[in-house]
């Protein structure tokens, strides 16, 4: 009996190890409209903080990263339909999402803010946003917050397929503001010529009820071996300086967060 149990345990270990080694290629979903986390070079090549983190994690697993572009609100359905194997595209770890997919631990965590035209009538939120049009990324934690806290106080919430579409409509005057990740909205809008005169209003937004526990890699619940391998990879790149090197390429502060 003892030998049988021992051989069974060895077989299980070997089976798990073999399964983990099968990930020679990892198809990674990205929404390339979220600068500086995920975007494209002028030549059309995916780049950004998320992309480089994904590439570093694939290297730790000795696997090839294949990037698959996907509109944000279709990310989780596409994952469960096996269109790709992981989402590494600034997806926050929330209880609602954990009912549909599994997550690694975080690989960064930054708060969100409300952005409006400065010097205008909007000074106190949510009161001054009553009747105002606020653009958000469809299916995002920012949309969840906006629906829960702003729409209930009279704001008109307009969802968009991509965050850069929000900025185009702000520029054209069709929106009065947005709720967005602080780093993304600063890099992608506020520091650009189109963002002149716009800025943050209200407090930092980081309530876990809406924004979760930080950003992690999303995976199918059945792929626990890949989750465990990626968790180990996150720990490794945090410890060997690779994560910091990528961080410092894009930011002048650490986005690991709390």
Q: Please state the three-class secondary structure of 57-94 as a single string.
A: HHHHCCCEEEEEECCHHHHHHHHHCCCCCEEEEEEECC
- Asked whether residue 257 is assigned to any structural domain, the reply reads no
The verdict on 37 and 75 lying in the same domain is yes
Q: Which pair of tokens denotes residue 174?
A: 């069709």
* Residue 160 tokens, joined: 């968009």
Q: How far apart are CA 34 and CA 185, in angstroms?
A: 9
- How far is it, in rounded angstroms, from Cα 47 to Cα 51? 5
Residue 22 is predicted with a pLDDT of 80
Assess if residue 220 is contained within a domain: yes
Based on the domain organization, do 147 and 197 belong to the same domain? yes
Cβ contact 188:163 at 8 Å: yes
SS3 43: coil
User: Please, which pLDDT band fits residue 20 given cuts at 50, 70 and 90?
Assistant: very low
Given pLDDT bands bounded at 50, 70 and 90, which one contains residue 258? confident
Can you tell me the mean pLDDT for 201-215? 96
- Residue 117 and residue 198 in contact, taking contact as beta carbons nearer than 8 Å: yes
SS3 state at 194: helix
- List the domain range (segments joined by +) for residue 181: 112-211
* Average pLDDT score over residue span 138-159: 97
At 1, the pLDDT band (50, 70, 90 cuts) reads very low
Domain assignment present for residue 258? The answer is no
Statement to judge: residues 144 and 237 lie in one domain: no
Handedness of CA 219, 216, 40, 24 (dihedral sign): negative
Based on the domain organization, do 6 and 105 belong to the same domain?
yes
Whether residue 102 is found in the same domain as residue 125 = no
In-domain check, residue 37 = yes
Query: The domain that contains 246 carries what CATH number?
Result: 3.40.190.10
Residue 255 domain-assigned (yes or no):
no
Residues 184 and 137 placed together within one structural domain of the fold = yes
Could you tell me which residues come within 8 angstroms of residue 167 by beta carbon, excluding any fewer than 6 positions away?
178, 188, 189, 194, 195
Residues shown for the chain? 258
Asked if 79 and 97 sit in the same domain, the reply is yes
Q: Does 48 map to a domain?
A: yes
Q: Which residues of 128-137 are buried (b: 16+ CB within 10 A; e: fewer)?
A: bbeebbbbbb
If asked whether residues 96 and 135 sit together in one domain, one would say no
Amino acid 216: pLDDT: 98
> For residues 164 and 33, is the Cβ–Cβ distance under 8 A?
yes
14 backbone dihedrals φ, ψ, rounded to 5°: -65, -35
3-class SS at 108? strand
Q: Are residues 104 and 132 in the same domain?
A: no
Regarding whether 87 and 21 lie in a shared domain, the answer is: yes
Look at the block and give the residue holding tokens 């920012």: 142
pLDDT at 192 over 50: yes
By the 10 Å C-beta count (0-12 exposed, 13-18 middle, 19+ buried), 235 is classed as: middle
Residue 207 and residue 217 in one domain: no
Q: Is the pLDDT of residue 248 over 80?
A: yes
99 and 42 in a single domain? The answer is yes
Task: Please report whether residue 75 resides in a domain.
Answer: yes
Task: Give residue-wise pLDDT tens across range 75-117.
Answer: 999 999 999 999 999 999 999 999 999 999 999 999 999 999 9
For the chain, how many structural domains are there in total?
2
Instruction: Answer yes or no: are the C-beta atoms of 90 and 198 closer than 8 Å.
Output: no
Output the six-digit token pair for 256.
Answer: 């690991």
Confidence (pLDDT) at 7: 47
The per-residue pLDDT of the chain, averaged, comes to 93
Interatomic CA distance for residues 135 and 165, integer angstroms: 9
Mapped onto helix, strand or coil, the DSSP state of residue 216 is strand
Average of pLDDT values for 187-193? Answer: 96
């Amino acid at each position: 009996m003892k030998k049988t149990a021992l051989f069974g345990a060895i077989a299980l270990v070997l089976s798990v190890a073999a399964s983990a080694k099968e990930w020679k290629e990892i198809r990674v979903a990205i929404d390339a409209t979220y600068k500086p986390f995920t975007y494209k070079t002028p030549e059309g090549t995916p780049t950004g903080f998320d992309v480089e983190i994904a590439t570093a994690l694939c290297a730790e697993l000795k696997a090839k990263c294949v990037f698959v572009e996907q509109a944000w609100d279709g990310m989780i359905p596409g994952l469960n339909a096996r269109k790709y194997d992981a989402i590494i595209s600034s997806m926050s770890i929330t209880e609602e999402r954990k009912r549909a997919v599994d997550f690694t631990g975080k690989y960064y965590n930054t708060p969100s803010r409300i952005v409006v035209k400065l010097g205008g009538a909007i000074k106190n939120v949510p009161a001054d946003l009553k009747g105002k049009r606020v653009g958000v990324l469809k299916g995002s934690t920012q949309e969840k917050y906006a629906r829960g806290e702003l729409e209930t106080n009279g704001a008109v919430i307009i969802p968009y397929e991509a965050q850069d579409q929000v900025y185009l409509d702000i520029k054209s005057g069709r929106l009065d503001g947005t709720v967005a990740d602080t780093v993304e909205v600063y890099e992608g809008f506020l520091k650009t010529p189109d963002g002149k005169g716009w800025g943050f209003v209200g407090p930092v937004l980081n309530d876990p009820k809406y924004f979760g526990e930080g950003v992690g890699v999303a995976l199918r619940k059945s792929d626990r071996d890949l989750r465990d391998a990626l968790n180990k990879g996150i720990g490794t790149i945090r410890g060997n300086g690779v994560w910091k090197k990528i961080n410092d390429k894009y930011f002048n502060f650490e986005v690991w967060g709390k």
